[in-house]
């Protein structure tokens, strides 16, 4: 090397992260001979970029891997680079490092056909029979990147889920979806990873923050619940933005379905907006009804089983579990304990009387009892407000769900009327009643299935109002016929009693005086019996108990009971009763062992007889 001075020519050394965008025509680069063709030789400028020196532009004899200097004559529109060899003795070398800034995932649709770099976290790694699909999440969206080494062979095995990576590749469309064809994928070093992760976290946190929108109706209780509703909405939005699967478990009645469907609509549309696979809304979101009015061990066992298999088989993250119209009582605790072994995140939207014992298991819990309200603010009302916070765009298709839920759950809170008047131009109260009954009836036949699309028609979410009306009419007629049959069989066997507090108690053995394993099931049968008895005994306090061999269902009007507390007391007072249960204050159920039925029922009735009556004016 000779001495250098300020007039010397500049030669560039292209860093490994650089791509075509970093190449400038006219500049001289260090290169390495890669191979020969009869029309010239190929020269690599870095691991990913090579150009052609036509034989007319060659200055000497070379062999493979020789270092040479080349000037870029032209970068053609198709990405081919024309080079010429240069021979100079005196020059300065300057490194070119990733001048190409990384592209944000949200901007990729404008980069089709271009080679880009993205940085983000690996949210999923799926090995197909062809390429390995990495799902990358940055602060703006989700993108699949396909890396291929050999059919069915895992590409970049050093890159694992949760790693921060830089991906360089061409943006393509595949089956109408954007995809990056990976040229290079590198796991960021510790320092880089920390910096990128912090940047993405901060931006995601801001992006997950729900919009500040007013409630659909004026409600002090719900206003007080807004901070917690926002918290849940943010957790859910973040799960969507980071491709974390969501499992939504809900009570299998009209209220529970309304709350869950409202959130389902918000989440699904958000998943679609934020990119990813065309079927991401199916594998990243699952809605499942729980048969019991709580999260059973059976439920968590199924959820956990599927989550772990998806984790291993499809490289998915462990899910966020959201419970609605469910989840706030100590009956949920055994399931929560199972979830906590796997560090599964849980959030709850419920209006059952909450037990503080579950607080340590859940990250957030919206419940009117926490702010001085009660079950009259139903899960469907709360779920719809949370859904609007998750994605305000879905409001037009879900704004009638709180009214259906309020009617379905027999809410007596002032909010019921407010939600009904909100939609009175489209749905009457009796329409809402029909929809709620249709939901209950259809869920009976759906059993453990969510019936995503059928339920959308029942709730008139698909927009095919003609079909919605036909379907609801059919289901309501079917339900009413079966309820009528059941009442004809059951009502003559109701046994009345007047208690010491002058409450009118009615007992029905649903095991022998009702059709079994069909609609309406024992709980609803008891409810229908109760409704008829309330009409027959207008103005009087009425309690109805429908019992089977090892369970009883309670409904009451005008008697101030606290069923969860009564169940707990009975459990302590009757050893060997095998007692469990709960529910709302005045609507609930109790389980016991068959051999202790009479003892338990008599003790229960005694407690009802001690309960104060509601004052009528
Ligand atoms: Mn409910």
The CA 188 to ligand 1 mean position distance, Å, reads 48
Average pLDDT over residues 355-370: 96
The CA 324 to ligand 1 mean position distance, Å, reads 8
What CA–CA distances, in Å, run from 482 to 109, 449, 515? Answer: 54, 22, 10
The CA 405 to ligand 1 mean position distance, Å, reads 8
The CA 379 to ligand 1 mean position distance, Å, reads 5
pLDDT of residue 5: 47
The CA 183 to ligand 1 mean position distance, Å, reads 53
Average pLDDT over residues 164-184: 90
Of the chain, the percentage scoring pLDDT greater than 70 comes to 97
The CA 381 to ligand 1 mean position distance, Å, reads 10
Contact 213, 392 (CB under 8 A): yes
Q: Does 525 score more than 80 pLDDT?
A: yes
HSE, CB side, 13 Å, CA atoms: give it for residue 282.
6
Q: Label each residue of 83-150 as H, E or C.
A: EEEECCCCEEEEEECCCCCCCCHHHHHHCCCCEEEEEEEEEEEEECCCCEEEEEECCCCEEEEEECCC
The CA 268 to ligand 1 mean position distance, Å, reads 23
The CA 567 to ligand 1 mean position distance, Å, reads 19
The CA 382 to ligand 1 mean position distance, Å, reads 10
The CA 515 to ligand 1 mean position distance, Å, reads 25
Q: Does 183 score more than 60 pLDDT?
A: yes
What CA–CA distances, in Å, run from 495 to 41, 168, 490, 522, 596? Answer: 100, 76, 11, 17, 20
The CA 169 to ligand 1 mean position distance, Å, reads 50
The CA 476 to ligand 1 mean position distance, Å, reads 20
Contact 495, 507 (CB under 8 A): yes
Average pLDDT over residues 14-42: 89
The CA 319 to ligand 1 mean position distance, Å, reads 24
Q: For residue range 436-445, what is the model confidence (pLDDT) as tens digits?
A: 999 999 999 9
CATH 2.40.50.140 fits domain 10-96:
yes
HSE, CB side, 13 Å, CA atoms: give it for residue 273.
15
Only one residue has tokens 């108690």, namely 505
- The fold of 105-207 is OB fold (Dihydrolipoamide Acetyltransferase, E2P) (2.40.50)
Q: Does 4 score more than 60 pLDDT?
A: no
Q: For residue range 227-239, what is the model confidence (pLDDT) as tens digits?
A: 999 999 999 999 9
Q: For residue range 69-110, what is the model confidence (pLDDT) as tens digits?
A: 999 999 887 778 999 999 998 999 988 876 556 899 999 999
HSE, CB side, 13 Å, CA atoms: give it for residue 117.
21
The CA 251 to ligand 1 mean position distance, Å, reads 7
Only one residue has tokens 């049959």, namely 485
The CA 411 to ligand 1 mean position distance, Å, reads 9
Does the pTM of the predicted model rise above 0.85?
A: no
Q: For residue range 124-153, what is the model confidence (pLDDT) as tens digits?
A: 999 999 999 999 999 888 999 999 989 999
The CA 570 to ligand 1 mean position distance, Å, reads 25
The CA 72 to ligand 1 mean position distance, Å, reads 70
- The tokens describing 397, both together, are 């298709």
The CA 303 to ligand 1 mean position distance, Å, reads 22
The CA 230 to ligand 1 mean position distance, Å, reads 21
The CA 472 to ligand 1 mean position distance, Å, reads 21
The CA 456 to ligand 1 mean position distance, Å, reads 19
Q: Does 21 score more than 80 pLDDT?
A: no
Listed in order, the ranges of the chain carrying CATH 3.10.310.40 are 494-610
Listed in order, the ranges of the chain carrying CATH 2.40.50.140 are 10-96, 105-207
Q: Does 474 score more than 90 pLDDT?
A: yes
- The fold of 209-427 is inorganic pyrophosphatase (n-terminal core) (3.90.1640)
The CA 244 to ligand 1 mean position distance, Å, reads 27
The CA 367 to ligand 1 mean position distance, Å, reads 11
Greater model confidence, 597 or 47: 597
pLDDT of residue 249: 97
The CA 505 to ligand 1 mean position distance, Å, reads 24
Phi-psi region of 419 (alpha: psi -120 to 50; beta: other; left: phi over 0): alpha
pLDDT of residue 84: 96
The CA 59 to ligand 1 mean position distance, Å, reads 83
Please give the helix or strand (H or E) that residue 276 lies within, else none: none
Residue 133's Cβ-count burial label (10 Å; 0-12, 13-18, 19+) is buried
Only one residue has tokens 């993205």, namely 118
The CA 481 to ligand 1 mean position distance, Å, reads 25
pLDDT bracket for residue 2 (50, 70, 90): very low
Q: Using the 8-state DSSP alphabet, how is residue 188 labeled?
A: P
Q: Does 617 score more than 60 pLDDT?
A: no
The CA 374 to ligand 1 mean position distance, Å, reads 11
How far is it, in rounded angstroms, from Cα 459 to Cα 260? 12
pLDDT of residue 99: 55
pLDDT bracket for residue 156 (50, 70, 90): very high
pLDDT of residue 77: 75
The CA 583 to ligand 1 mean position distance, Å, reads 10
pLDDT of residue 1: 37
The CA 336 to ligand 1 mean position distance, Å, reads 20
pLDDT of residue 75: 87
- Walk across the sheet containing 580-583 and list its strands: 495-498, 504-509, 542-547, 551-557, 587-591, 580-583
The CA 87 to ligand 1 mean position distance, Å, reads 81
The CA 400 to ligand 1 mean position distance, Å, reads 16
Listed in order, the ranges of the chain carrying CATH 3.90.1640.30 are 209-427
The CA 408 to ligand 1 mean position distance, Å, reads 8
Mention the CATH class of domain 494-610: alpha beta
Comparing CA positions, the residue from 367, 386, 278 lying closest to residue 326 is 367
The CA 325 to ligand 1 mean position distance, Å, reads 5
pLDDT bracket for residue 287 (50, 70, 90): very high
534: which residues sit within 8 A by CB, 6+ positions away? 542, 557
How far is it, in rounded angstroms, from Cα 526 to Cα 590? 13
* Averaged confidence pLDDT in the chain: 92
The CA 383 to ligand 1 mean position distance, Å, reads 11
């Amino acid at each position: 090397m000779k001495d250098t001075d300020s007039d010397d020519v500049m030669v560039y050394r292209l860093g490994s992260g650089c791509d075509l965008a970093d190449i400038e025509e006219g500049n001289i680069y260090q290169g390495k001979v890669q191979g020969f063709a009869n029309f010239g030789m190929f020269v690599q400028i870095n691991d990913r970029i090579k150009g052609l020196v036509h034989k007319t532009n060659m200055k000497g004899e070379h062999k493979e891997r020789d270092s040479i200097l080349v000037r870029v004559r032209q970068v053609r529109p198709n990405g081919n680079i024309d080079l010429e060899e240069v021979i100079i003795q005196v020059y300065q070398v300057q490194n070119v490092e990733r001048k190409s800034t990384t592209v944000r995932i949200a901007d990729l649709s404008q980069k089709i056909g271009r080679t880009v770099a993205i940085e983000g976290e690996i949210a999923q790694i799926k090995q197909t029979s062809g390429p390995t699909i990495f799902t990358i999440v940055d602060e703006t969206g989700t993108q699949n990147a396909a890396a291929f080494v050999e059919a069915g062979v895992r590409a970049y095995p050093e890159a694992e889920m949760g790693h921060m990576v830089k991906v360089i590749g061409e943006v393509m469309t595949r089956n109408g979806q954007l995809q990056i064809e990976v040229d290079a994928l590198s796991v960021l070093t510790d320092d880089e990873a920390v910096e990128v992760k912090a940047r993405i976290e901060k931006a995601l946190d801001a992006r997950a923050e729900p919009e500040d929108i007013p409630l659909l109706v004026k409600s002090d209780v719900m206003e007080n619940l807004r901070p917690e509703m926002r918290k849940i909405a943010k957790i859910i939005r973040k799960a969507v933005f980071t491709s974390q699967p969501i499992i939504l478990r809900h009570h299998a009645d009209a209220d529970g379905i309304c709350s869950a469907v409202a959130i389902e609509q918000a989440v699904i549309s958000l998943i679609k907006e934020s990119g990813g696979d065309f079927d991401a809304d199916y594998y990243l979101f699952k809605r499942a009804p729980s048969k019991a009015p709580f999260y059973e061990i059976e439920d968590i066992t199924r959820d956990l089983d599927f989550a772990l298999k998806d984790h291993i088989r499809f490289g998915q993250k462990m899910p966020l579990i959201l419970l609605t119209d469910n989840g706030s009582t100590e009956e949920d605790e055994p399931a929560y304990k199972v979830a906590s072994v796997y560090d599964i995140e849980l959030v709850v939207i419920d209006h059952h009387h909450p037990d503080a014992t579950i607080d340590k298991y859940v990250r957030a819990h919206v419940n009117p009892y926490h702010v001085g309200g009660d079950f009259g603010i139903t899960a469907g009302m709360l779920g719809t407000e949370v859904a609007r916070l998750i994605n305000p765009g879905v409001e037009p298709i879900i704004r009638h769900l709180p009214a259906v839920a309020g009617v379905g759950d027999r809410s007596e809170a002032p909010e019921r009327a407010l939600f009904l008047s909100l939609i009175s131009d489209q749905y009457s109260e009796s329409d809402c009643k029909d929809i709620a009954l249709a939901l209950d009836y259809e869920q009976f036949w759906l059993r453990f299935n969510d019936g995503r699309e059928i339920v959308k028609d029942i709730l008139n979410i698909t927009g095919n109002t003609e079909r919605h009306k036909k379907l609801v009419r059919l289901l309501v007629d079917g339900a009413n016929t079966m309820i009528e049959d059941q009442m004809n069989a059951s009502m003559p066997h109701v046994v009345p009693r007047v208690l010491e507090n002058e409450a009118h108690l009615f007992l029905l053995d649903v095991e022998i005086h009702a059709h079994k394993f069909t609609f309406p099931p024992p709980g609803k049968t008891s409810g229908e019996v109760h409704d008829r008895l309330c009409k027959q005994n207008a103005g009087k306090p009425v309690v109805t108990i429908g019992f089977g061999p090892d369970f009883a269902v309670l409904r009451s009007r005008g008697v101030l009971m606290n069923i969860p507390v009564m169940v707990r007391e009975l459990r302590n007072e009757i050893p060997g009763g095998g007692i469990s249960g709960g529910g709302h204050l005045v609507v609930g159920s109790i389980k016991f062992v068959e051999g202790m039925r009479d003892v338990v029922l008599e003790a229960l009735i005694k407690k009802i007889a001690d309960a104060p009556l509601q004052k009528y004016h």
